[in-house]
Structure 1
Amino acid sequence: MGRYGDWVSTLEERLDPWIAPHLATSALLVVDTQRDFVDGGSSPIAGTTQVLPAIARLLEAYRSASRPIVHIVRLYAGDDVDLVRRSAIAAGARMASPGTAGSQIVPEFGVADLDPDLLLRGGLQQVSPTEVVLFKPRWSAFHRTDLESHLRERGVDTVVVAGCNYPNCPRATIVDASERDLRVLIAADAISGVDDRHLEEAGRIGAVHATAAEIAAALD
């Protein structure tokens, strides 16, 4: 990406106005940044530890702007597990197990301990006046959750997506956001597992991308 000023110019002069993100009416979605998925966790995802500073920069900007933040988490309990991981969980794999230290959001983000009972019931855990935690049972943050209604009630028309392992949960969330006519801005240096081909493919459904620094500066 170019300088912040170049990016703003691109938004104003080159992007289709129907897909250009509206940061003043945006929410930040932070996907699966739990201790088990970073270095030293039970199921580390390559590159996730490295993107934590960029995500922290976005969190700081959204907190300062009093814009909505949704931390989206996985909790593996019982039989309600995606097919590809059922064998591992049935064999005793400990991955984001409710109530464990590994299931918690990384300490760098300053989020309160999770309430697994509330989350598994589908509730939204309020952790600050503008910040909630939401449990998703599958890849997309919109699947069997109240995320869409939570965003609509707050006048959100744009989601900024950051977090863990683009090919799985962030990508599914981006597709489902697009299907709901939400504008999508990918924080390209704040998602593990993302590459240029992913960004090009996402662009075909109207998702645009920028760096965390550019997004934070534009929000400010």
Structure 2
Amino acid sequence: MTTPWDVFLTDQDRAVVARGRFSRRMGFGQRTAVLVIDAQKYMVGESGNDAAWPSSCGDIGRHAVGEIARVVGAAQTAGVPCFFTRFEIDPSGNDMGVYRRKRDLLENEHWCLAGSIGAELVPQLQPAVRDVVFVKKKPSGFHGTPLLGYLVERQIDTVVIVGGATSNCIRATVFDAASYNFRAIVVQEAVFDRIPISHAISLFDMDRQFADVVGVEQVLEHFRTLPQTS
């Protein structure tokens, strides 16, 4: 599989990776769940009108949504639970914490404000009855949410992570997943970011240390090997 970070690595970098025995494969464990991180309208904007969506990842995000839908559909067919996070901020900004010192768009319905169109999940994704949707307030899907409890109750040992943005909420969720000793699988075509170099280097860092970055077909094949449930 061609990786987005290959072009940035020197021969010296590759020697460091080899010497340190980085980037080994963890593989899938016994029980898998899918974490869909912030696949919301504010993240992917509107074709031909991205200027009105200040956090949009543009065509890159919209293409990735199609791949996310493939992963989610296959997981739902196989009876694999899917957990959808929604990053949502009170319109007052009172729950933003220190993040408000970096940016805020509290007047914009196309951002992630509670009750706004921007905070909604993209229409291509339809949670199934067994799936769970919950709000988070920080980058990681684990921080201040019930996600860890959901995974423990279902005896999950592997999380397939899709969504955006790669350098922010995906990366934070991967690091927390690893800290809780889950196997983290990041689907290369099903994560997205606004800035290509941020996307590429974040994938490299995750694959080097705490996750397997894999192609979408490998994940779909894994789901096909699982016994289907009604």
- After superposition, where does 1:131-142 map in structure 2 within 5 Å? 131-142=131-142
Q: Post-superposition shift, 1:205?
A: 2.4
Query: In 1, distance between residues paired with 2:149 and 2:132?
Result: 13
Query: In 2, distance between residues paired with 1:74 and 1:101?
Result: 13
Query: In 1, distance between residues paired with 2:210 and 2:56?
Result: 30
Going from structure 1 to structure 2, the CA distance change for 1:16 and 1:36 (only over 3 Å counts) comes to closer
Q: Post-superposition shift, 1:213?
A: 2.0
2:210 to 196, 206, 214: 206
Q: Post-superposition shift, 1:82?
A: 4.7
Query: In 1, distance between residues paired with 2:171 and 2:208?
Result: 13
Report if the CA contact (8 A) 2:39-2:122 is conserved: yes
Aligned residue for 2:104, secondary structure, equals: helix
Tell me the residue number matched to 2:222. Answer: 218
Going from structure 1 to structure 2, the CA distance change for 1:200 and 1:154 (only over 3 Å counts) comes to same
Query: In 2, distance between residues paired with 1:67 and 1:38?
Result: 25
Tell me the residue number matched to 2:228. Answer: none
Query: In 1, distance between residues paired with 2:103 and 2:208?
Result: 35
Query: In 1, distance between residues paired with 2:97 and 2:61?
Result: 21
Query: In 1, distance between residues paired with 2:69 and 2:138?
Result: 25
Aligned residue for 1:102, secondary structure, equals: helix
Tell me the residue number matched to 2:19. Answer: none
Tell me the residue number matched to 1:183. Answer: 183
Q: Which one is further off, 194-203 or 172-181?
A: 194-203
1:100 to 2:116 alignment: yes
Query: In 1, distance between residues paired with 2:191 and 2:203?
Result: 11
1:81 to 76, 96, 106: 96
Q: Could you report, residue by residue, the CA deviation over 1:114-170 in whole angstroms, capped at 9, with x for unpaired residues?
A: xxxxxxxxxxxxxx3321101111000010111011001001000000001100000
Tell me the residue number matched to 2:32. Answer: 26
- After superposition, where does 1:31-70 map in structure 2 within 5 Å? 31-40=37-46, 42=53, 43-46=55-58, 47-70=60-83
Going from structure 1 to structure 2, the CA distance change for 1:49 and 1:178 (only over 3 Å counts) comes to same
1:73 corresponds to which letter in structure 2? R
Query: In 2, distance between residues paired with 1:187 and 1:151?
Result: 19
* Structure 1 segments unaligned to the other structure (5+ residues): 3-14, 112-127
Report if the CA contact (8 A) 1:30-1:72 is conserved: yes
Query: In 1, distance between residues paired with 2:106 and 2:141?
Result: 26
Give aligned pairs, total. Answer: 190
Query: In 1, distance between residues paired with 2:159 and 2:87?
Result: 19
* Structure 2 segments unaligned to the other structure (5+ residues): 3-22, 47-51, 225-230
Tell me the residue number matched to 2:129. Answer: 129
Tell me the residue number matched to 2:10. Answer: none
Rg larger in structure: 2
Q: Could you report, residue by residue, the CA deviation over 1:52-78 in whole angstroms, capped at 9, with x for unpaired residues?
A: 111010011100011110001111103
2:37 corresponds to which letter in structure 1? V
Tell me the residue number matched to 1:170. Answer: 170
> Structure 1 length normalisation: TM-score?
0.78
Query: In 1, distance between residues paired with 2:119 and 2:139?
Result: 16
**RMSD in angstroms over aligned alpha carbons?**
2.2
1:31 corresponds to which letter in structure 2? I
Identity rate, percent: 26
Could you list the runs of 4 or more consecutive aligned residues of structure 1 that deviate by over 6 angstroms after TM superposition?
none
